[in-house]
């Protein structure tokens, strides 16, 4: 992997950080663009109170000079505004042993496990008796760093005309009307807080979320991520860990609450004859074309020049106002699962995170194919490759 990043930080800690390695020199890195991407992650009907507190802003601490990457590691930081209320409970140093401090720490201690969350497995794995140590890092707050890193990846892709979009296709039992040309509706998708492309679905989904909220419940859903202008040949067929679809699936499955990832037709290939599954190949004006895209832009682990189409499903969030039956890990007694400020539905935000993770994978594959020390070098290699492809 060439484009690599490491993130750190807890949900209620002082800040979130990311260090990105492998960004070629000469890429425009715009702080305002990264902040806009962070704002997109925070939008969504059904989001919780945390979104009213945090208005994420990035600080670029290294690796960028006068608005352009210089080839060294890029360090990004996002401060947690809520930190001021958690300085004792989440202190990285030992705190003074006063009754007030002990009371604060005890009030933030969690022993009631949430089914469907990292709580029990994480506590057992890392030998914790306070689940706070698990949920602070397993929280989806961590995805803010992924979106910031994804914005840097998009800045690289943009130099090659590669563009992505995400759209919500289902929330709960409500499915949105689909469109063949999502990119023409990008403005409409970005303008509403559910990331859907039709007004009827929007109102029905809002109603579904309101019902869940009134019931103290949560909702999941599905979304699509599509990238266009991806050149032929990203990824490889020669090793399992270089296959582009495998890398994309792993990246998106790593997002909290995502339970399935499909490329192109996805699970529908199980119901379809081969004659209806595979995209026939034609030549028009000397170029290879396909009139369908059931493969979702990837064949045998490599991009084939068509749009990359990914569908993913997010489960309902396990932190619920109407909690499920569970156990307390300190005494193994039956209790109600822990509830802490939470979203009712975060599918639109999850779509934005998946868009970012897809951009990271594609940027890495692009750099692997076309070298990566400097943007100028990449562009020369890219143009030479396109010339060779056109002459085949």
How does pLDDT run along the chain (392 residues), one tens digit per residue? Answer: 899 999 999 999 999 999 999 999 999 999 999 999 999 999 999 887 655 566 899 999 999 999 999 999 999 999 999 999 999 999 999 999 999 999 999 999 999 999 999 999 999 999 999 999 999 999 999 999 999 999 999 999 999 999 999 999 999 999 998 777 889 999 999 999 999 998 889 999 999 999 999 999 999 999 999 999 999 999 999 999 999 999 999 999 999 999 999 999 999 999 999 999 999 999 998 889 999 999 999 999 999 999 999 999 999 999 989 989 999 999 999 999 988 878 999 999 999 999 999 999 999 999 999 988 999 999 999 999 999 988 87
Find out whether 185 and 197 touch, Cβ atoms under 8 Å. yes
pLDDT at 199: 85
* H runs (alpha helix) in the chain: 31-42, 50-53, 99-108, 119-126, 132-138, 143-158, 186-191, 199-214, 244-253, 274-277, 347-370, 375-390
Report which of 271, 170, 275, 175 is spatially closest to residue 221, judged by C-alpha positions. Answer: 170
Q: What is the DSSP letter of 114?
A: P
pLDDT at 49: 61
pLDDT at 50: 56
Q: Is the pTM of this model over 0.85?
A: yes
User: For 362-373, b where at least 16 C-beta lie within 10 A, e where not — what string?
Assistant: bbbbbbbbbebe
pLDDT at 51: 56
pLDDT at 181: 84
Whole-number Cα distances in Å, 260 to 144, 177, 209, 246: 21, 21, 21, 13
Q: How many CB atoms lie within 10 A of CB 291?
A: 9
CA–CA–CA angle 45, 51, 53 (5° rounding): 150
pLDDT at 103: 94
Q: How far apart are CA 91 and CA 282, in angstroms?
A: 63
């Amino acid at each position: 992997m060439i484009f690599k990043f490491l993130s750190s930080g807890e949900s209620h800690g002082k800040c979130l950080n990311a260090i990105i390695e492998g960004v070629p020199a000469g890429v425009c890195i715009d702080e305002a663009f990264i902040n806009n991407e962070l704002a997109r992650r925070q939008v969504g009907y059904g989001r919780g109170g945390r979104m009213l507190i945090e208005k994420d802003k990035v600080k670029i601490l290294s690796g960028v000079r006068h608005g352009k990457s210089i080839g060294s590691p890029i360090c990004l930081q996002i401060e947690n505004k809520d930190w001021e209320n958690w300085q004792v409970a989440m202190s990285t140093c030992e705190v003074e042993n006063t009754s007030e401090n002990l009371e604060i720490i005890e009030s933030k201690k969690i022993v009631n496990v949430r089914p469907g969350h990292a709580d029990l497995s994480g506590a057992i794995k890392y030998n914790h008796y306070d689940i706070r140590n698990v949920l602070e890092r397993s929280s989806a707050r961590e995805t803010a760093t992924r979106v910031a890193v994804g914005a840097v990846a998009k800045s690289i892709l943009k130099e090659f005309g590669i563009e992505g979009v995400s759209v919500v296709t289902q929330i709960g039992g409500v499915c949105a009307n689909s469109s063949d040309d999502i990119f023409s509706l990008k403005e409409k998708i970005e303008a509403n807080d559910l990331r859907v492309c039709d007004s009827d679905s929007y109102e029905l989904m809002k109603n579904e979320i309101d019902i869940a909220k009134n019931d103290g419940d949560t909702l999941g859903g599905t979304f699509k991520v599509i990238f266009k202008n991806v050149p032929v040949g990203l990824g490889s067929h020669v090793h399992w860990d270089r296959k582009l679809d495998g890398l994309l699936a792993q990246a998106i499955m790593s997002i909290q609450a995502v339970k399935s990832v499909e490329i192109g037709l996805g699970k529908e290939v199980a119901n379809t004859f081969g004659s209806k599954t595979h995209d026939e190949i034609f030549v028009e004006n000397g170029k290879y074309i396909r009139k369908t895209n059931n493969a979702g832009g990837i064949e045998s682990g490599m991009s084939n020049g068509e749009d990359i189409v990914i569908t993913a499903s997010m489960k309902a969030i396990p932190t619920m106002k109407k909690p499920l039956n569970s156990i307390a890990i300190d005494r193994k007694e039956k209790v109600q699962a822990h509830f802490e400020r939470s979203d009712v539905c975060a599918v639109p935000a999850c779509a934005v995170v998946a868009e970012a993770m897809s951009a990271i994978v594609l940027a890495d594959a692009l750099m692997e194919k076309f070298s990566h020390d400097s943007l100028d070098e990449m562009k020369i290699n890219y143009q030479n490759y396109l010339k060779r492809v056109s002459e085949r």
